[in-house]
Structure 1
Amino acid sequence: MDDRELIKKGIFATIAYAFVMSLTAIAAKQAQTVIAVSTLVFWQSLFCVLVLLPQMRGRWQKRPWSVWRIHFLRSFGGFIGFLFYYWALNHIPLVEASLLRTCAPLCVPFIVLALHGIRIPKARWLPLLIGFAGVAFVIQPTPSHLNPWHLVGFVSAIGLALSMVTTRMLSHQVSGQETLLVYFAVSCLLSIPLMLWQGDGVVVPLDVWPLVGVVVTTLYIGMFLYNKAYTYAPASIVSPVSYIGVAFSGFWGLVIWHHVPDIYAVLGVVLIFMSILISTRIARNRG
């Protein structure tokens, strides 16, 4: 199969991933009206552990502490990414929560700086400034408008950025199944003390199980499609295409909750998308 066919497959996988994850967000937003976010994270993590565990049978290898350290950082980042994203879904429109989460590429250079001490190249600052201007349009951090739940949504992007950087670090040392299994296992364990602290249990009402089922099923399928997309096509193509997820979220938010983005949110989407396009073009030229 030539590169052009692989890129087409990567684009289709990315679009499918974005659509499936928009369904995850719908089900999660509705489930959280009845159960706690930590309970939802626990069950989605446990389900994925049970699915992935048989795939790792006979494939475990002894890992040095340096690898386990990266595993934990990746798992913690993914846990924070989903936890704060789900929290934000309860308080701000779906499209805005999804947009803030997909700002993760803007945070990646700062995560790389913190982990590796690699300074941000001068050429990267223009798209970063454009992107964060877009974030400001979405959040509108004025005293009369500031909603702290927008900041919660942005924290989910920081967590996702940490998981992206550390996943890349692990990709040269362990399999994708091992990375996901360790992540979901750690996420499951981290959600337990949070449930206890909040006074919530693991019990899910019978009528909410269909929503939880949709969350865990679409999440697993989404993760599979995400990995396939990055296998078929380079990040410089997958990253901009993944922004179609914002369009899916906007559509569902309009149809189900009648949320109409204001002009500032639209401008924010445009600026953030422009920044990702410029960043990927710079990366492609340097690559």
Structure 2
Amino acid sequence: MARIVVVGSVATDEVVRLTERCREGAHLNGTMEVPRLGGGGANSAVALAAAGHTVTLVAAVGEDDDGDWQIEALARSGVDVSAIRRVKGGSTRSIVMVDPIGERTIVNLGRAKEEQPPARLLDIPADLVYVRTRAVGLAPLLAEKGRFCKVVAHIPPIEPGVFPAQVIVASASDLPPDLLAEPVTAGLMAAGTRLEWMVLTRGADGAEAFSAARHLRQPSPEVQAVDSTGAGDAFAAGLCHALVGGAEMEDALAVAVRWGSAKVGQDGSALAPETVAGLL
């Protein structure tokens, strides 16, 4: 299998299972569940490791008990934690509220951040790099890394040249109306001339991929929604899994939609190993 480096966050997700839909101004009831590993980087890394890839996560955790637990949980999931750095302060924690139809609302309580871009990225062997972070300043590192391997990056942020990558991924809900109408423009803004594909996820409506010459559509399968937390991260993991295996975008998009849909149909913040095994 392939060597994949994921740049992103690790979190402790404190889950509240709501008894009714989340509404503005409402007084809601719910039950607290056992905390679970989360964070966009961790969710994708865990799924890719379950698929048999050698996965290194470049991330930061705090110098606290949460940080210890996060690193241990990642290692148990088969993720290489040697590139995770401890930083002063607390680790990233999130409250995840999941309603009866599987929709989630996330409240970030704090984030562990590095003061400088992770230059160690250049020293890690990789066939593909996946970037799932809102941190800026990565452009020089990704431009250099992209000379030797494929780079897939998730936006936002949407700033000129923020993520030099061959593939940009975005959720339709994260793009302003003008860029949603011109998704290739959003991709070119973030990636520059290196861009080959702009991939747009649309939740239950599936996903699309745009290149200079093609527009692909992939519908989502019917699924009984349980927990939509991490569905986008599972989608990205499926996309990276397919692309690093040599798939063309049309096939890779189909794989990614299956992985994202499978996550909606199971509990947890990341795809479970047995779910990944079924997808393979």
TM bucket (normalised to shorter chain) is under 0.3
Q: Which has the higher helix share?
A: 1
Return the structure number with greater relative CO, CA threshold 8 A, min gap 6.
1
- TM value normalised by structure 1: 0.26
- TM value normalised by structure 2: 0.26
